[in-house]
Structure 1
Amino acid sequence: MAITTRFTTMGMLALSALLTFGFASCDKDEDTTTPTASYDHQHAPTQFVAAGDTKFAYRILGNNEGVPLVVLAPLGSTMDDWDPAVTDGFAKKYKVILFDNAGVGSSTGKTPSTIADMAKGAVTFIKAMGYSRVNLLAFSMGSFVAQQIALTEPALINKMVLTGVGPKGSEGLSKLPEIIGGGQGLSAEESFLYFGFTKSEASRAAGKLSYARIQLRQVDRDKPLSDESSLAELTAVLGWAQPAPDALKELESVKIPVLLIQGKEDLPVPVINPTNMAQHLPNARLIVYEDAAHASLFQLADKFVKDGSDFLGE
């Protein structure tokens, strides 16, 4: 189904309504030195690491030892589209690494139009950072990328926390263009609430608080996605949505411990998808949040951080 570039810049799958503000970061000098100080989401400096022809932009939160937690972003999102309640929450126990994949935000290069190539980019970044083993926290499109990494580079992953998740051929994901169309004409905040939260007063109130937190960082904000990158990401997600009869069986080979967390009323990726995944992943656990939708991790940030941290710490 055809979809216009205007729709892609709305960043359907999670939180890219923020892109309508057009926040842009200042140009940054290359810096590949890992900071010794412990930074939070609002103040972590943007750094760069080069790998091939790409300079990956990244930020490090916290300064904890042990296996680092690499964060994989959803459709249309940059490092500044994460709720600091989540990233700072995990940074209390783990070294959290945010980054922009190729062509996204402040990173150079061209954004891939397939999940497989996005996974290659993420692996390239992780190895360029000098890590041989990481934990992954992945949301929506990021969770698709994480699955691909688990299939092609399993030795690189210690554990995965996946949310807004579905396998290849996810039920309902092919309706994404219709969902995008349903959000036309909404304000940035209302678009954020429409795609990520339920219609209940409690969910909407939590969504408004999350929306405000995401905008707290005003200095050195990341660059928004270009229209070209937005379209490439949407193409990749719709490619992932294509029928894949063997997708669940393929996941049976993934032995990595996986925590699946999903809002019961997820609109783009219905809860049936992680339910099916949990039955095929040999070492998976599923938690479903009531009265929560695609952005359940932001709505219930404290619970999500506790559930995720407990799992990673086991």
Structure 2
Amino acid sequence: MLKVANSYGKHIQVNGTTLWVEDTGEADLPVVLCLHSCFLDGSMFDGLVQAADGKFRVIRPDFRGQGRSALDDVDIITMDQCADDMEALIEKMELSSINVMAQSMGGDVAFRLIARRQALFRSLVVAGSSACGEPPEQGARFAQWVVDAGEQGFVGEILDMTMEVMFGKTTRNNPEKQELVAFWRDRIQALPKTLRPAMKGVMHRESSVELLASITIPVLIINGEEDMPRPPAWSDEMKRELPNSKLIRLSKIGHSPTLEAPEQVLPAIIDFFSNPRV
């Protein structure tokens, strides 16, 4: 997998916790703040760092309780709490005119954050994401998944389900993408049981649809037709509710477009951040 040489990590304390933050550090370049999926951490944006080289400063925090950030021994880490952390991090790093790259739960955090402090932000890309909560049937299935992962870890059927959630069927079965699939399967299998509070926060999130009408910065929505946890209809809802947005829909791609189709997605993201328009 990609090795990113021009990104440097450090721990930053905010809101009583410690976040791991990777930063390419170019003070003279416009900022891209990357908000990752649950399970995958900031390293999922390694490809974006390379694509943005010389064009953008890329900052990649791991959310509390995930990746290399501090664990949080609580029942649940909510999307609002993650938004609080990102707001505090932005203030501590003195960032402005921010472009946001948000994947899956990153979108749930981004909508809350931007609705609060819109003047800080320039544009937003949401990939494999949505603004609604889980519908009852899917929510019940995912709630049990949280319990099982917290008790047993990411093994057996729990690991299989996580891979089905994170990657489309076509990607999982594509011989040319088996290195990618195996890499993330190994990473997910190694996740600790202590991910449960963060995972629970995603599965029990409240809707943020009511916030979308207030978000007027340009938004690019990227959705895969095979996205099981955040299906196309949910992206259509975001497109309807966001006043300044456009939608790219990808065939044979699932929940992680930046990983499953980087050759299509990364140039589109860089182009959008370079000239946000819809």
Report the TM-score, using the length of structure 1 for normalisation. 0.72
Instruction: Measure the CA separation in 2 of the matches of 1:86 and 1:272.
Output: 26
Cα deviation, 1:262-289, whole Å, max 9, x if unaligned, reads 1011011111111111011000111000
Partner of 1:79: 42
CA RMSD in angstroms comes to: 3.3
Instruction: Measure the CA separation in 2 of the matches of 1:52 and 1:237.
Output: 20
- Which segments of 5 or more consecutive residues in structure 2 lack a partner in the other structure? 149-153
The match for 1:150 among 111, 114, 127 is 114
Partner of 1:267: 228
Instruction: Measure the CA separation in 2 of the matches of 1:225 and 1:133.
Output: 34
Partner of 1:97: 59
2:7 counterpart SS class: coil
Report the TM-score, using the length of structure 2 for normalisation. 0.80
TM superposition shift of 1:202 = 8.5
TM superposition shift of 1:96 = 0.8
Instruction: Measure the CA separation in 2 of the matches of 1:227 and 1:187.
Output: 12
Alpha-carbon contact 2:37-2:105 (below 8 Å) kept: yes
TM superposition shift of 1:193 = 4.8
Cα deviation, 1:211-265, whole Å, max 9, x if unaligned, reads 46769xxxxx9xx76533x11112211222x5x5xx4343111111110001011
Q: How does 1:179-218 map to 2 (within 5 A)?
A: 185=156, 193-200=163-170, 204-205=174-175, 207-211=177-181
The reply on whether 1:124 has 2:88 as its aligned counterpart is yes
- Which segments of 5 or more consecutive residues in structure 1 lack a partner in the other structure? 1-39, 216-220
TM superposition shift of 1:83 = 5.2
The reply on whether 1:54 has 2:24 as its aligned counterpart is no
Partner of 2:151: none
Instruction: Measure the CA separation in 2 of the matches of 1:202 and 1:107.
Output: 29
Partner of 2:70: 108
* TM superposition outliers: structure 1 runs of 4+ over 6 Å: 178-181, 212-215
1:91 counterpart SS class: coil
Count of residues paired in the alignment? 262
- Which structure carries more relative contact order (alpha carbon 8 Å, separation 6+)? 1
The reply on whether 1:162 has 2:126 as its aligned counterpart is yes
The match for 1:139 among 64, 89, 103 is 103
Identity %: 21
The match for 1:286 among 223, 236, 247 is 247
Amino acid at match of 1:41: V
- Structure holding more helix per residue: 2
